[in-house]
């Protein structure tokens, strides 16, 4: 599945993969991150 030209919502996990890390992975695509957050799920 291609993420090119898509709008993306990123919800990361504090104890897992943070949202900023996912955003970094998307920089090589033309996807637009419209919201990014790192949450704590307890």
pLDDT in tens, the chain (42 residues): 788 899 999 999 999 999 999 999 999 899 999 999 999 977
DSSP 1-42: ---TT-EEEEEEETTS--HHHHHHHHTTSS-EEEEEEEE---
> Which pLDDT does position 13 carry in this prediction?
94
User: Using alpha carbons only, what angle is made at residue 13 by residues 10 and 19, rounded to the nearest 5 degrees?
Assistant: 35
> Which pLDDT does position 17 carry in this prediction?
94
> Which pLDDT does position 41 carry in this prediction?
78
Q: Are the C-beta atoms of residues 26 and 8 closer than 8 Å to each other?
A: yes
- Indicate the pTM of the whole model: 0.77
What residues contact residue 4 under an 8 Å CB cut-off, 6+ apart? 29, 30, 31
């Amino acid at each position: 599945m291609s993420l090119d030209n898509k709008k993306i919502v990123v919800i990361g996990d504090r104890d897992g993969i943070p949202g900023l890390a996912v955003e970094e992975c998307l920089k090589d695509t033309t996807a637009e991150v419209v919201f990014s957050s790192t949450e704590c799920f307890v």
